Structure 1
């Protein structure tokens, strides 16, 4: 057999083998099924189904940069992230993320909310905290959340809320489209306490509010069981001309965890919608028998005060806004104080 015959025979054998294999079916491995995120429109915009479940989840929050100005501006930062010093200005940054989960049950939607907030006064002075965490079903709410006393007028001048409004609470609230009424049991461990005691009290609060045409209203009350004192507040707004007029009044029987700024106070503002993007809100407040812990921790003092200010809100683009606020406080028996802040905020 010469070399040519050997090559031809090898080629023929290879063709036979290849033909036999080609006759067999080729089975390719099927790819793993891909479960795409499904939009959940049952509870409004922004929700999607958690893959593999019937629970809808929404993620939102904001990023804020703010510069405070005034006496001891750092110590007076509202977010509590700053360290006390004598600086006349202080900058801080905040990041907040909220997770809201909802699912249908035989009792109505079951809601769970977690809010994480991080505040940075500088690279070394930072604080991350649980800002809210609660569950809600059929009007009942339990967990860490803000009370009705956290509400206020739309500007930055009014001082008609509790010094601490975030509590571990149990609440029931009845709601319709234009009316709500509720009652809550609040743990007040970080609230007001007398000089001979420690903070370890609880309280009962109620909230009633609603809307009727161009008018909105809210009545809020609270009784601090440890201090055996209470407070009540009424607020209302009405559309007038190019803006919205807001009025509020509050009374407190003596300093307590629901209101301690003064024995009573009245506040007014007018939020002017100058353009689609610009809102200007001048406001005033009067305090009668203002609270001063340096004079008496248990009682109001004979010291009235006036406060006036203006807040300017500007919507730069969608989800990005700027705010400027300037406030002037004139106590009867203390030096007057001018303070304010500049804020940039991006919501998502």
Structure 2
């Protein structure tokens, strides 16, 4: 048999075998489709769908480095309160991350928020805390969150908030485009307590506010059931010339968890927008019957105080900000003191 005939015979044999085995041919499996993260634009920028669900998630936060100055300059501990030390300056760094989840329901958007925060006074002294965690739907909110008493004017001179503004609370808030009103029931377990009191307190607060043309306004009130005292605060701003004028006033019937610094307070500031990136805010505050008389447990009617200062805000680039403030405080009965801080903050 010639070589040509051998090749032809081999090819025929292979074709025959291939035809016989055609029904059993191996077929490669199709690769499964990869589900990429989808953008969710129903609730604003930054949200994306959690793969496999209809829940939208947003991750945000900031990194802050701050230097405090003044006699026995204070640092910030794990729960956000100030702790004095023996130095005239102190530096700390904070990292905060917020997770916001939203999904549609028959009652409107269902929102869940978790805020985690870590404060480091130095490399060996760090504290991680749950800064907020709450559920929000149809105007109802339940969990750990900041009260209306956490709000203030835009500068760093005013002192018109509660000493502790983060509570476990139930709240209902009605919101329209230019108006809101609500009521909350707050656990005041770490609030103000008089002599002989124990940390088992409940408070009721109301808040309302909104906009009217060039004006904004807010009225906040709270009643401390354990101390049987309450406080009310009115605050507003109006655009005037190159800046915004802010005014605030407080009356407190007696020391309580909502306000215990003075019986009455007046505060004012003028936030000047020098450029698109630079803001200058001088401010002043007056305290009537400042501090608590240990003999009576009431406000000290022999002691007034005043405070004056200026805050500078500068946007270095998008999402990077610098803030500096200097404040001078002088009580009738006590030493005057000058304090301030410088802060760098990167938001994301």
TM-score range, shorter chain: over 0.9
Please give the residue correspondences for 1:82-97 in structure 2 after superposition, counting only pairs within 5 Å.
Answer: 84-97=84-97
For residue 246 of structure 2, what is the aligned residue in structure 1?
246
Provide the TM-score with structure 2 as the length reference.
0.93
| Contact 1:266–1:287, Cα closer than 8 Å, also in 2 | yes
Q: CA RMSD in A?
A: 2.5
For residue 135 of structure 2, what is the aligned residue in structure 1?
135
Can you give the 5+ residue segments of structure 2 that lack an aligned partner in the other structure?
none
For residue 300 of structure 1, what is the aligned residue in structure 2?
299
Cα gap change, 1:76/1:98 in structure 2, threshold over 3 Å: closer, same or farther? closer
- The Cα of 1:74 is off from its aligned counterpart by 2.7
Cα gap change, 1:180/1:259 in structure 2, threshold over 3 Å: closer, same or farther? same
Q: Note the alpha carbon deviations across 1:98-144, whole angstroms, 9 max, x for none.
A: 11111111111111111001100001111100000000111111000
Please give the residue correspondences for 1:142-157 in structure 2 after superposition, counting only pairs within 5 Å.
Answer: 142-157=142-157
Comparing 83-92 and 156-165, the one that deviates more: 83-92
- The Cα of 1:27 is off from its aligned counterpart by 2.0
* Partners of 2:85 and 2:323 in 1: CA distance: 24
- The Cα of 1:20 is off from its aligned counterpart by 6.8
After the TM superposition, list the runs of 4 or more consecutive aligned residues in structure 1 that deviate by more than 4 angstroms.
1-26, 75-79
- The Cα of 1:191 is off from its aligned counterpart by 0.2
| Contact 1:67–1:90, Cα closer than 8 Å, also in 2 | yes
Please give the residue correspondences for 1:3-18 in structure 2 after superposition, counting only pairs within 5 Å.
Answer: none
Q: Secondary structure at the match of 1:121?
A: strand
* Partners of 1:6 and 1:263 in 2: CA distance: 113
* Partners of 1:259 and 1:2 in 2: CA distance: 111
* Partners of 1:237 and 1:296 in 2: CA distance: 39
For residue 196 of structure 1, what is the aligned residue in structure 2?
196
Comparing 67-76 and 330-339, the one that deviates more: 67-76
| Contact 2:77–2:121, Cα closer than 8 Å, also in 1 | no
- The Cα of 1:80 is off from its aligned counterpart by 3.5
- The Cα of 1:5 is off from its aligned counterpart by 11
Q: Secondary structure at the match of 1:37?
A: coil
Cα gap change, 1:103/1:252 in structure 2, threshold over 3 Å: closer, same or farther? same
| Contact 1:92–1:120, Cα closer than 8 Å, also in 2 | yes
* Partners of 1:2 and 1:125 in 2: CA distance: 92
* Partners of 1:296 and 1:46 in 2: CA distance: 55
Cα gap change, 1:17/1:129 in structure 2, threshold over 3 Å: closer, same or farther? same
Provide the TM-score with structure 1 as the length reference.
0.93
* Partners of 2:235 and 2:329 in 1: CA distance: 22
Q: Secondary structure at the match of 2:308?
A: strand
Cα gap change, 1:290/1:77 in structure 2, threshold over 3 Å: closer, same or farther? farther
Cα gap change, 1:78/1:297 in structure 2, threshold over 3 Å: closer, same or farther? farther
- The Cα of 1:185 is off from its aligned counterpart by 0.3
